Amino acid sequence: MSLGKRFPFFPRFARLASGIGLSLSLLAGTLAVPATAQAEGEIRIAEQFGIVYLLLNVVRDQQLIEKHGKADGLDIKVDWLQLSGGSAINDALLAGSIDIAGAGIGPLLTVWDRTHGRQNVKGVASLGNFPYYLLSSNPNVKTIADISDKDRIALPAVGVSIQSRFLQYAAAKQWGDKEFNRLDKYTVALPHPDATAALLSGGTELNGHFSNPPFQDQALKNPDVHVVLDTYELLGPNSPTVLYSTEKFRKDNPKTYKAFVAALAEAADLAQKDKGAAADTYIRVTGAKISREELLKIIDNDRFEFSVTPKNTYPLAEFLHRVGAIKNKPASWQDYFFEDAAIKQGS
């Protein structure tokens, strides 16, 4: 069933987005790219929306993959794609349309479980530690226990995205593991820019959004929007968004893979040490309609950490296995991340 049929208000979201300067930039036909094997010296990277992908913006802006490739005697061609939602990202990776996937730890665990013993998809690195907020414009929704059939919550992918998994984790804490997916029926898949536009407009049935920065910060400028759930309060500081790839790509393209990881580590070091330069890069690369001052207020705080080392991801992995969302139980975070000295000791 199409989203437009399931939720009649959906066709209006694209028009709402353009009205406040937020745009949907999905690449039509991305999944139609032939699933051909990539030769050493080529890499296709898929990212999504928000500050959580800033390290990739730095890598792209400064051509760091190309730089590290040349240092190893290799010219690397880099293709950048933008999709929305873990489902689309995972489909593209398994179809061979991309080599590096950028999505939440939830989608990684889903595809790691699905490909265990076959393509063996694993994490490459974290993109940093950031709190995500579940927002609502319904004054009656103070906690997740108040969510009812009067509410619709936007998130990148129903049942798979990291926001969806956070919501399930919270539901299990509230009502027990058997009720972990109790709130799924109130969720709808929508990219962050368009969900923010819909929430701010107030002209649709959508009155909730499990967001990420900077979209959550932009939405909270509206006095009618408030925080229902803070993922740091739910799980503690954690790495919600990661990069992952197939075992085959890593094995067949050792120099390209090495250059990518080195580029990412350099970008993390730059972003963590120079938030001003990081803000400038994000605005320049994404064209985001946000002032430098506003962006710096968001990222220059103790709750944000740009790092390639995954942090506190295992509690979610353990939870997903416990409720049957994944069949294979990882013994530790190292089961679903490739071993690499650059990402150091994660969790």
Q: What is the pLDDT of residues 79-133, one digit of tens each?
A: 999 988 888 899 999 999 999 999 999 999 999 999 999 999 999 999 999 999 9
> 58 with 281: CB under 8 angstroms?
yes
User: What stretch of H or E contains 249?
Assistant: helix 247-252
The per-residue pLDDT for range 252-267, each reduced to its tens digit, is 999 999 999 999 999 9
Q: What is the mean pLDDT of residues 46-65?
A: 94
Q: Taking phi first (over 0 means left), then psi (-120 to 50 degrees means alpha), and beta for anything else, what does residue 120 get?
A: left
Order of strands, sheet of 153-155, starting from the edge strand that comes earlier in the sequence: 187-189, 153-155, 208-210, 133-136, 226-230
Instruction: Output the pLDDT for position 7.
Output: 42
Cβ atoms 271, 55 nearer than 8 A: yes
- The angle, 0 to 180 degrees and rounded to 10, between the axes of the packed helices 275-286 and 254-273 is 120
Residue-averaged pLDDT of the chain:
88
Q: Quick one: pLDDT at residue 29? A: 39
Encoded tokens for 343: 């990402």
Any idea of the CA torsion for 144, 148, 153, 158, to the nearest 10 degrees?
Answer: 90
Q: Could you tell me which of 101, 124, 44, 66 has the C-alpha nearest to residue 259?
A: 66
Contacts of 19 (CB under 8 A, 6+ apart): 197, 201
User: Within 13 Å of residue 42, how many CA atoms lie on the same side as its CB?
Assistant: 6
- Categorize the per-residue pLDDT at 38 as very low, low, confident or very high, splitting at 50, 70 and 90: low
